Amino acid sequence: MAGGLIGLVLTGSADRIGVEPFFMELIAGMEEALAPAGATVLLLVVPDLAAELATYARWAQDQTVAAVVVVNLVHDDVRPAHVAGLGLPVVLAGKHPGPYTKVVTDDAGAMTTAIETLSGLGHRVVGRVSGPAELLHTVERTLAIRSAGAAHGVTVEIVEGDYSAEAGVRGLRELLAGSPAPTAIVFDNDVMAVAAEQELIRSGVAVPGRISLLACDDSPLCELAVPPLSALSTDVHEHGLTLGRAVLGLVRGEAGREHPGPAISIRQRESTGPAPA
């Protein structure tokens, strides 16, 4: 596999994807795992599913890549079977019912941890700005946070976002307009959480005195925010390492199997505190 390319296609706005630390750290981990084998990641950003599928077909026809990693899995996702049907080895980042090599993180456990932490601080109404509802890990998080809320006597209100800064602010405003308004909000990524915190500070709303914030996808953005954002922390670099190793195993002839992703923990910083009296 010396000199091989591993294909990774991200669908969406290049501007938005470019500011997400998650994917840059994920790719860095993949590169570290692949480098000893002389392989590297070929990243392409495309606008929609049709362009993504066309990219896979072109890569297969031209023998551009040795394997493909598929991310952001959705319900009835056509991509794994499409890639496999083209004769390309495929590794999935996330849960999928098919017999594919995959790396799976505990998204449900992350939401359970969030509710346990916030309910322990006295919060009884918790909001969440989710990622796109069609993503499988978004659904897993939604089911888990509602189940954990019910178990801990916490009301959970959810609005859908798209991981952008604008969606973070929009979701914040929608949640705070509810009755009762949440005293804590969980955001499905760091970009939305940072944007929401900036909006609250501009509006004179105390964080965490009036409202506590908790981000998924811990990153330097969370550490540099003012106040620093608490986060559900997955070692994204380690996740990338696991994906890279799974790819190497697959192209060397290993049978497809599920690899556990890195454990999820919570890093409590200054953006979370007791619920206001």
Domain ranges of the chain: 5-104+235-262, 107-233
The pLDDT tens digits of the residues spanning 168-227 come to: 999 999 999 999 999 999 999 999 999 999 999 999 999 999 999 999 988 889 999 999
Average pLDDT over residues 37-52: 95
Distance between CA 242 and CA 74 in Å, rounded?
21
> Alpha helix (H) ranges present in 86-154?
107-120, 136-151
R_g over Cα of the chain: 19
Angstrom distances, CA of residue 193 to CA of 129, 154, 198, 216: 9, 21, 9, 8
Q: Does domain 107-233 have CATH number 3.50.50.60?
A: no
CA 110 to chain centre: 11
Give me the half-sphere count of Cα atoms (radius 13 Å) on the Cβ side of residue 107.
20
The pLDDT tens digits of the residues spanning 62-94 come to: 999 999 999 999 989 999 999 999 999 999 999
Distance between CA 220 and CA 149 in Å, rounded?
29
* Total-model pTM: 0.84
CB 236 within 8 A of CB 20: no
Query: Which residues are paired to 38 by β-bridges?
Result: none
Distance between CA 56 and CA 62 in Å, rounded?
10
pLDDT the model gives residue 2: 46
Q: Is it true that 5-104+235-262 and 107-233 share their CATH fold?
A: yes
Q: Does domain 5-104+235-262 have CATH number 3.40.50.2300?
A: yes
pLDDT the model gives residue 19: 54
pLDDT the model gives residue 235: 85
In 3D space, the residue among 166, 186, 202 whose CA is nearest the CA of residue 271 turns out to be: 186
Angle at 50 between CA 46 and CA 55, to 5 degrees: 60
The pLDDT tens digits of the residues spanning 123-172 come to: 999 999 999 999 999 999 999 999 999 999 999 999 999 999 999 999 99
The percent of residues in the chain predicted with pLDDT above 70, rounded, is: 96
Bond from prior residue into 97 cis (ω within 30 degrees of 0): no
- Give, for 36, the enclosing helix (H) or strand (E): none
Count the residues in the chain.
Answer: 277
100 pLDDT higher than 70: yes
- Give, for 5, the enclosing helix (H) or strand (E): strand 5-11
pLDDT the model gives residue 18: 56
Calculate the average pLDDT of the chain: 93
Residue 205 has phi, psi (to 5 degrees) of: -95, 125
Question: Which are the contacts of 179, defined by CB distance < 8 A and separation ≥ 6?
Answer: none
> Alpha helix (H) ranges present in 126-183?
136-151, 165-176
In 3D space, the residue among 218, 209, 219 whose CA is nearest the CA of residue 121 turns out to be: 209
The percent of residues in the chain predicted with pLDDT above 90, rounded, is: 82
- Give, for 242, the enclosing helix (H) or strand (E): helix 236-251
- Locate tokens 């362009």: which residue? 51
Angle at 250 between CA 247 and CA 255, to 5 degrees: 140
pLDDT the model gives residue 17: 61
Lowest mean pLDDT: which of 21-30, 196-205, 239-248?
Answer: 21-30
